[in-house]
């Protein structure tokens, strides 16, 4: 007997592997980390106002800025700026609430990575398979680094993403 309600089984994906070693394979991520450190200038993190796009033309195609919006004990990550390289893989994300464009299991991976950056308060290297819309053949390498509007609370993530778009052989 059917009740008319379709229950969807929750899908759990492996988390994005994160580490503090910051040993990047892609040159743009190393360049982005050096820039982030320069702008931090000995502080825990740079301020958003320290980031100048004209200073980093080589990494702009990889750069996303994710805003952390907090309300009532919950937080949401919002792509204030979505890198062209990120949108090649995930589709249009710029200025869209992520829950409206990503599957819940993908969103959960991203939120877990952002939570870890906030907890650590330091840049991290992320790596793993994309796993979005069956794109498990795409390997991702990420720089996730804290950023602040005021110099106090982490309220943005400076995110550089490189994707190895080599499709599987048929």
- Would you place residue 71 in the very low, low, confident or very high pLDDT band (cuts 50, 70, 90)? confident
Res. 168: pLDDT tops 70? no
Question: Minimal CA–CA distance to 55: which of 84, 27, 31, 81?
Answer: 31
Q: Where are the domains of the chain?
A: 17-51+59-73+83-128+147-156
* Tokens 């700026």, residue located: 81
**Bridge partners, residue 164, by sequence:** 139
Question: Minimal CA–CA distance to 82: which of 91, 74, 73?
Answer: 91
Res. 92: pLDDT tops 80? yes
Q: Which residues are within 8 A (CB) of 4 and not within 5 positions of it... i.e. 6 or more apart?
A: none
Q: Any idea what DSSP says for residue 45? A: S
pTM of this structure:
0.86
Q: Any idea what DSSP says for residue 73? A: T
Q: What is the pLDDT of residue 151?
A: 87
């Amino acid at each position: 007997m059917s009740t008319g309600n379709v229950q969807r089984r929750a899908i759990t994906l492996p988390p994005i592997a994160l580490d503090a070693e910051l040993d990047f394979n892609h040159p743009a991520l190393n360049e982005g980390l050096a820039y982030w450190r320069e702008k931090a200038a000995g502080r825990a993190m740079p301020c958003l106002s320290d980031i100048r796009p004209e200073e980093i033309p080589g990494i702009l195609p990889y750069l996303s800025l994710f805003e952390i919006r907090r309300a009532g004990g919950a937080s949401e990550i919002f792509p204030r700026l979505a890198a062209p390289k990120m949108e090649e893989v995930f589709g249009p994300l710029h200025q869209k609430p992520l829950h409206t464009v990503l599957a819940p299991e993908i969103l959960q991976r991203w939120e877990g990575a952002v939570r870890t950056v906030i907890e650590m308060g330091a840049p991290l290297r992320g790596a793993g398979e994309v796993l979005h819309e069956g794109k498990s053949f795409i390997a991702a390498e990420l720089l996730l680094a804290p950023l602040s509007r005021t110099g106090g609370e982490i309220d943005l993530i400076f995110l550089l993403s490189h994707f190895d778009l080599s499709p599987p052989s048929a």
